[in-house]
Amino acid sequence: MKAIVSICCMLSLLLLITADEEEDVLSSIVRDRSHIEETLRLAAEENSGDYAAALQKLMKIYHSSIKPMEQAYKYNELRQHEISDGEITSKPMVLFLGPWSVGKSSMINYLLGLQDLPYQLYTGAEPTTSEFTVIMHGEKIRSVEGIVMAADSSRSFSPLEKFGQNFLEKLIGIEMPHKLLERVTFVDTPGIIENRKQQERGYPFNDVCQWFIDRADLIFVVFDPTKLDVGLELEMLFRQLKGRESQIRIILNKADNLATQDLMRVYGALFWSLAPLINVTEPPRVYVSSFWPYDYAPDTSRELFKREEISLLEDLNQVIENRLENKIAFIRQHGIRVRIHGLLVDRYVQTFKERMSFFSDPDLVFKEIVDDPDKFFIFKSILAKTNVSKFDLPNRDAYRDFFGVNAVTNFKPLTAQCSYMGGCLLEKIERAITADLPALLSSLTSGKNPIFSSCEATGCGEKPKNRYRRN
């Protein structure tokens, strides 16, 4: 009996020694993360007072000058993009896209230092992420259901309700106290599986991706050496990224699994696969490294991988530092689109009234206009009379659908959208685009308070001049 007890004690001692040795081995191969905090300047304190004041000015400009025209001409029904206060005050969003099991979740764990912690994102060689996971800052570690995120108007995710309950069940938020998450929000997405039809997901996957793409400040499209093939779903994803090339960063992950010569071949194969999908003169930046917490494999280009990683972190830091400038530019771009929409609807309304007579059938008259707007110079007149680029004009077919839901008689012309106290919608949005928003932007770089007109929107008590009213 004593012999059995002594053998058990020896086995327990051996197991303890083995566990300690394994912990020592793991600690020796875990990569140093000090360069992440240094590059992202996580220890630096922010001047939150100036940032909050600038955000308040931005919201005031949006609500007083842009939103009135947005509501009057139902812009959100054309593009289904209504800006909320939560979206204006939200942190920069970094979106991770790509095939399954290429290391998207591992990369987030590495950037946040979550490895071996109970709340790290689950990773594996098989498809592991089936939800859209939003990692954001919070006072304590907790998970938030998608239904709760969509119902909270203070967040920027309330518009996601339109994708249905099946999607909200696949949306999850994770809050945690972290210095990096005070400045940025990460979104992990389900991996693209080419042999799975979109209908099998139970929600409109491409539409949801488009919603996040439209709001992302930085988009990481992640690949690894074993998944370079481009199928239908990935091809559709790159179509959705069209026009956002400046935000896209391509990542060739797990690069230390290959010898240098093989890595060069894989790098060339990746560009060969993506070349037909990216129609730009300057291709997106490609980062080649291994983004996970453990040390690089021996006999690989360690220095190259380290420099690539620091370069990616500098890109991320640039987005964080320019978040307010990007927000102002985003609101201004939105204002330009709303203005163009208002001008086009006004032109449709005017053309309809000009074509109508006592004996005309309203439905037939407007059908002729909306089916062939070029015949009535709808779009050309906007280009000729206003400072609008032809590249900013929306699709003509979109207005056929828009007026199919909204009768043209429901809209007033711009000449009727003026009031003594409120001013003219067009003049207010033009002042915001050309003066107020640029002044706010320049105040950030100069460190001075923005200069606004001392008069109210009515022009110092004078009756507003309407340059679109016929004499």
pLDDT one-digit tens code per residue, 269-311: 888 888 778 776 777 788 999 998 888 888 888 899 999 999 9
Is there a contact between 131 and 191 (Cβ–Cβ < 8 Å)?
no
pLDDT bracket for residue 469 (50, 70, 90): very low
Residue range 392-396: mean pLDDT, rounded:
84
Percent of the chain with pLDDT over 70: 83
- Of these ranges, 40-54, 105-119, 176-190, 201-215, the one predicted with the greatest mean pLDDT is 176-190
Q: Which of 15-19, 98-102, 398-402 has the lowest mean pLDDT?
A: 15-19
pLDDT bracket for residue 120 (50, 70, 90): confident
Among 34, 93, 317, 326, residue whose Cα is nearest residue 220: 93
Q: Which of 67-81, 192-206, 238-252 has the lowest mean pLDDT?
A: 192-206
Give me the pLDDT at residue 20, please: 43
Report the DSSP beta bridge partners of residue 171.
132
What is the token pair recorded at 144? 């938030």
- Of these ranges, 73-87, 241-255, 386-400, 449-463, the one predicted with the greatest mean pLDDT is 241-255
CA separation, residue 379 to residues 168, 345, 397, 433, 464 (Å): 39, 10, 12, 21, 27
Q: Are strands 93-97 and 132-137 parallel, antiparallel or unpaired?
A: unpaired
Residue range 450-463: mean pLDDT, rounded:
42
Is there a contact between 96 and 189 (Cβ–Cβ < 8 Å)?
yes
Residue range 242-268: mean pLDDT, rounded:
88
Give me the pLDDT at residue 413, please: 93
Q: Which of 107-116, 377-386, 444-453, 461-470 has the lowest mean pLDDT?
A: 461-470
pLDDT bracket for residue 127 (50, 70, 90): low
Domains of the chain as residue ranges with CATH: 54-83+322-448 (1.10.268.20), 92-300 (3.40.50.300)
- What whole-number distance in Å separates Cα of residue 100 and Cα of residue 231? 13
Element (H, E) at 424: strand 423-424
Is there a contact between 354 and 413 (Cβ–Cβ < 8 Å)?
no
Q: pLDDT tens, 138-174? A: 999 999 999 999 988 778 888 888 899 999 999 999 9
